[in-house]
Amino acid sequence: MILAASLLGQVVGHALRKWPLESIGILSGRVPDRPNQYHELSNISASPTARFAVDPNQQIELWCSLADQGSRPLVVCHSHCRTGSTAEPSTTDVDEHDPSLLMMIIGLQDPMTPDVRVYRIADGQAV
Ligand SMILES: [Zn+2]
């Protein structure tokens, strides 16, 4: 995946603003593996320091507005904030992920040095 530094800055900046809650957002674009826009979503999880949940209406609205622009979601980005939690996907992350999208995790175990990793989820495995 090719990602402009300014976009990466937006993703990490969002995660840091939301800390200690998990952030959730979407990188979108017209070309696979070449995101050109970041969209912040609301985390509506009941335990937002440990999990994220997307408002389905907000998601549908974003998906439709992207389709209108000839663009589409490419990467689901979320942060891990809990002490001891790394930038590795949890079992729930893998189980609930749409495998047609990439997964980016912003590990904020130490918010001073964000650990950003991108995964492709295939056959229930993160690679
Ligand atoms: Zn996670």
Indicate the pLDDT class of residue 123, thresholds 50, 70 and 90.
Answer: confident
Q: Is the dihedral of CA 85, 89, 92, 93 positive or negative?
A: positive
Q: What is the mean pLDDT of the chain?
A: 95
Residue 25: pLDDT above 90? yes
Tell me how far the alpha carbon of residue 89 lies from the centroid of ligand 1, in angstroms.
Answer: 5
The DSSP secondary-structure symbol of 60 reads H
Tell me how far the alpha carbon of residue 33 lies from the centroid of ligand 1, in angstroms.
Answer: 21
Tell me how far the alpha carbon of residue 17 lies from the centroid of ligand 1, in angstroms.
Answer: 17
The pLDDT of residue 74 is 98
The pLDDT of residue 83 is 83
Work out the average pLDDT over 53-69. 97
The pLDDT of residue 124 is 84
pLDDT digits over 76-100, tens only? 999 999 888 899 999 999 999 999 9
Reply yes or no: is the peptide bond before residue 32 cis, omega within 30 of 0. Answer: no
Residue 52: pLDDT above 90? yes
Residue 61: pLDDT above 90? yes
Domains and CATH numbers, the chain: 5-126 (3.40.140.10)
Location of structure tokens 């990439």: 102
Tell me how far the alpha carbon of residue 61 lies from the centroid of ligand 1, in angstroms.
Answer: 23
Residues within 5 A (CB) of ion ligand 1: 90, 93
